Amino acid sequence: MISDNIMDIGQGQQQEDFFEGTEKLLELWFESTRPGCKSLRLIPRFELDEICKLAECEIISEMHNESCDSYVLSESSLFVSDNRLILKTCGTTVPLNALDKIMICAKKYANQTELTNVFYSRKNFLRPSMQPEVHSSIDDECMHLDKYVKNGTAYCLGGLRDDRWYLYTCNPPRAYLSKADHTLEIIMQDLDREVMDTFTMEQSVDGYHATKLSGIDKLVPSNTKIDSKLFEPCGYSMNGLIGDTDEYVTIHVTPEPEYSYVSFETNQSQLCLFSQLVKVIATFRPNRFLLTVCADDGSDKGRLAQKDMMKAMLPGFKRVDFQMVITSEHAVMYARYERDQYIKEICK
Amino acid sequence: MISDNIMDIGQGQQQEDFFEGTEKLLELWFESTRPGCKSLRLIPRFELDEICKLAECEIISEMHNESCDSYVLSESSLFVSDNRLILKTCGTTVPLNALDKIMICAKKYANQTELTNVFYSRKNFLRPSMQPEVHSSIDDECMHLDKYVKNGTAYCLGGLRDDRWYLYTCNPPRAYLSKADHTLEIIMQDLDREVMDTFTMEQSVDGYHATKLSGIDKLVPSNTKIDSKLFEPCGYSMNGLIGDTDEYVTIHVTPEPEYSYVSFETNQSQLCLFSQLVKVIATFRPNRFLLTVCADDGSDKGRLAQKDMMKAMLPGFKRVDFQMVITSEHAVMYARYERDQYIKEICK
């Protein structure tokens, strides 16, 4: 089987010169209808700190609305709502090592014992050999997830030897009603230098400033409450909570030119997802990116976005890969784009 | 990465009790427009014998029409037309070992030196550990193919840990015009016992008899010339050439109940591919199957079939997986079906 290591690039580079922007994204959905179930938001902060510690990162900022708690982490983000927990971490963090503790806390504080759905996903790492053992291959990650998930299944979207995206999920029992959720994720690489410079201490004073300067504040629905952080000497994270819903936006920027990486993720339902995509690409100006749209059967917005994106052209870009997976409960669309060489040359 | 070995089933079984019906399918397209190019059909029989020997099988029967030469092999089939060669072999054969010789013969006899497209595909093996080294994983197969193919890329369609289908192909240079070809492949497992018994020496006298008894003669377009072979004590292969075109049908049956396997493959353009599918399923009555439809950009029939199959319901079956890959030149549709448990129970 194609090993992750085949794509291990830049091994000659010194480790200290490199940061793996690629996030591991763990999204857990718990049963919410059984009598006695309580909100996951009852898990106290010290336990969330412990969960993050096990994943090898820490909470550096928090923000709340009526439906969701948002935490900016030293490496990416954590969102907790009544029956959904999202842990997204980059670098060499180990989110799967936090699973035991998450399950224990869900039971102890929310009387939640049953996962109704699980999504674990990531792009292929740039430097898989630098990852800790649990995350050293999708194979290992699957085996770890199998301890918590019944009928887990995994897909590789994209070519086995190109940039690609792995998804582990499960086929939930039919008893659970279909949700109407959707998620748009855009993973960008090789980004415009000028845009990336915005996310350095040289150009921006703090997260708030970088958010304005880069235009991120205009990118998200207008009623988004933003918690952003600029890192020293560079790097940026933001969580946004939309109105008082559990809809969120989260953006993470690794601006170093050698391995520039930006991720954008949202489950917002205010903007059409295709126009959201266009805004994101116009703001960050990547030379290549991949995008995924996951849509539950009940999500008209998500399904519509998939249809739009299947047909749509993005001026200046060539779609080099397109894939779709349809399971009994949801549909996942994957596409990879590269800027036309010509345009890439002019832009230099 | 998920190793093939995870799915190695029945390892306890003695090797002599087992036959790997799963075929390795190699389809090579050569440049046909360059001045001086001649037909691959000029490759003489003794060289084809040598090619098969390198793949570890042999020609046992041949048939010809104006556009194509068809060979039934001890393990599956070989088709040679002017600029396309298809080598499909099952068991523990090594078709990739024949690639060198094929390229040498294409040059020597047809002045053909350039591959314009390559498709190598197979389902996951039931017993990967029994395969020879070159075919021990898709990773190894890709590396071998890379010696002959520029820009080779590979996909895994279906879950990484379920029944799945691997495809290696290349992005051909834009200079080559898009063909209008399409291929429907149906890979069936766990088939109806009564149907499978047709393909034993106990019930049928020879290939011709088994073709009639099973209804295969009614399954294919009416102007199909059939070359079929019944094996001792069981097993069946047929090649069909349609009219005087290079359209073909090929069917291979491994009837043993413990590992029953039937493959159906065609590029015919007379019947609608969806009705072809329904006829195949009604004839062989599998409990589970996967199907792929590869369609070049120019193939309306292929694209239409993909659309049909994306929406269509097959009564009695549940679609458990659906995937689509769209590249710059063609679209590949993959679906996996299982008979509804209820119906499966009644049918027992």
- Tell me if residue A23 is catalytic: yes
B155/A153 CB distance under 8 A:
no
| H or E element at residue B290 | strand B286-296
Q: Which residues of B touch A139 (CB under 8 A)?
A: 1-3, 6
Peptide bond into A233 cis (omega under 30): yes
CB < 8 Å from B in window 142-171 of A: 142, 152-156, 159-162
Please give the C-alpha separations between residue A347 and each of A186, A195, A244, A337, B263, in angstroms, as whole numbers: 21, 13, 41, 17, 51
Query: Shortest CB distance from B4 goes to which of A1, A154, A324?
Result: A1
Residue with tokens 């089987």: A1
pLDDT at residue B7, rounded to an integer: 43
Active site residues of B: 20, 23, 76, 90, 237, 252
Q: What percent of chain B has pLDDT over 70?
A: 91
CA dihedral sign of residues A140, A145, A150, A156: negative
Mean residue pLDDT across chain B: 90
Residue A47 near residue A40, CB atoms below 8 Å? no
pLDDT at residue B198, rounded to an integer: 97
CB atoms within 10 A of CB B231: 18
- Report the alpha-carbon distance of residue B329 to residue B181 in Å, rounded: 11
**Residues constituting chain B:** 348
**Residues constituting chain A:** 348
Averaged pLDDT, groups of 10, chain A, 348 residues long: 44 67 96 90 98 98 98 97 97 97 97 93 95 95 94 93 93 58 95 97 97 97 97 97 97 96 96 92 96 88 83 86 86 92 53
| H or E element at residue B159 | none
B1/A137 CB distance under 8 A:
yes
First to last CA, chain A: 38
Please give the C-alpha separations between residue B151 and each of B142, B165, B169, in angstroms, as whole numbers: 11, 20, 8
Q: How far is A296 from chain B (nearest CA, A)?
A: 15
- Report the alpha-carbon distance of residue B288 to residue B163 in Å, rounded: 10
Which residues does residue B165 pair with via DSSP β-bridges, in sequence order?
B123, B157
Q: Which two tokens stand for residue A90?
A: 């980059």
Closest to B260 measured CA to CA, from B235, B226, B242, B278: B235
B142/A160 CB distance under 8 A:
yes
Mean pLDDT of B28-47: 93
| H or E element at residue A243 | none
pLDDT at residue A83, rounded to an integer: 95
Which residues does residue A68 pair with via DSSP β-bridges, in sequence order?
A81
E strands of chain A, at which residues?
24-30, 59-64, 68-73, 76-81, 84-89, 115-123, 152-157, 165-170, 182-191, 224-230, 236-242, 248-254, 261-266, 286-296, 317-326, 330-339
For residue B191, give the 3-state DSSP assignment: strand
Answer yes or no: is pLDDT of B67 > 60.
yes
- Chain B interface mutation, best of A135, A141, A155, highest count of B Cβ atoms under 10 Å: A155
Query: Shortest CB distance from A159 goes to which of B153, B161, B321?
Result: B153
pLDDT tens figures, B306-328: 888 887 788 889 998 899 998 77
Question: B299 falls in which pLDDT band (50, 70, 90)?
Answer: confident
Q: Which residues of B touch A323 (CB under 8 A)?
A: 155, 323-326
pLDDT tens figures, B12-27: 445 568 999 999 999 9
Residue B229 near residue B223, CB atoms below 8 Å? no
CB atoms within 10 A of CB B55: 25
- Report the alpha-carbon distance of residue A76 to residue A60 in Å, rounded: 10
pLDDT tens figures, B118-153: 999 999 999 999 999 999 999 999 999 999 998 899
Question: Count of A–B CB contacts within 8 Å?
Answer: 88
Please give the C-alpha separations between residue A66 and each of A39, A70, A77, in angstroms, as whole numbers: 12, 11, 18
Q: Per 3-state DSSP, what percentage of chain A is helix, strand, and coil (rounded to 5)?
A: 30, 35, 35
pLDDT tens figures, B187-204: 999 999 999 999 999 999
Q: Is B309 on the interface with A (CB under 8 A)?
A: no
Provide the edge-to-edge strand list for the sheet that holds A59-64.
A59-64, A68-73, A76-81, A84-89, A24-30, A115-123, A165-170, A152-157
Q: What ipTM score was computed for the predicted complex, to two decimals? A: 0.84
Q: Which residues of A touch B159 (CB under 8 A)?
A: 153-155
Q: Which two tokens stand for residue B129?
A: 């550990």
pLDDT at residue B9, rounded to an integer: 46
- Report the alpha-carbon distance of residue A20 to residue A26 in Å, rounded: 17
The pTM (predicted TM-score) of the whole model is 0.88
Q: Is B282 on the interface with A (CB under 8 A)?
A: no
Q: How far is B152 from chain A (nearest CA, A)?
A: 9
Query: Shortest CB distance from B161 goes to which of A142, A321, A322?
Result: A142
Which residues does residue A253 pair with via DSSP β-bridges, in sequence order?
A236, A262
DSSP string, B291-333: EEEEEETT-HHHHHHHHHHHH---TTEEEEEEEEEE-SSEEEE
Answer yes or no: is pLDDT of B10 > 80.
no
* A346 burial type by CB count under 10 A (0-12 exposed, 13-18 middle, 19+ buried): exposed
pLDDT tens figures, B234-264: 999 999 999 999 999 999 999 999 999 999 9
